[in-house]
Amino acid sequence: MAWLPAGWLRRHAVPFYLGSITLLTVLLDLALVAYARTAGAGGWLALAAGLLGLLPASAAAVDVVNWLVTRLIKPTALPKLDFEDGIPPECSTMVVMPALLAGPADMEALLGRMELHF
């Protein structure tokens, strides 16, 4: 993407990403409605085709944009953190593990999983 400066793209990544998905979804859906109209569908039927095609069009748009992003944007290395001496208080976090406990065996299995994650 030589026509876009990399710095601008990184500063506006979310609007560019979501805007690309939205634009491609609208274009694909309009193409579907246009095809329905040329195939002889009336106004209501073309509208129904557009509404029914909205979800598949958005899924296709997400796939295409994700594929393009992985091809056009170079990945950058994430900063590394050194926690050999323990986790400082400003970096601590909480992990939530949702669970359904139906009996004592479930509790033992959950405790085993928690120990593995620790």
Domain ranges of the chain: 6-72
State the Cα–Cα distance between residues 28 and 50, nearest whole angstrom: 9
Q: What is the pLDDT of residue 3?
A: 63
More confident residue, 79 or 25: 25
pLDDT tens per residue, range 90-111: 888 887 878 888 888 888 888 8
pLDDT surpassing 60 at residue 1: no
The mean pLDDT of 37-43, rounded to a whole number, is 88
pLDDT surpassing 90 at residue 32: yes
Q: What is the pLDDT of residue 60?
A: 96
Residue 30 Cα distances to 42, 44, 52, 65, angstroms: 15, 14, 12, 18
Phi-psi region of 40 (alpha: psi -120 to 50; beta: other; left: phi over 0): left
pLDDT surpassing 60 at residue 2: no
Mean pLDDT across the chain, nearest whole number?
A: 87
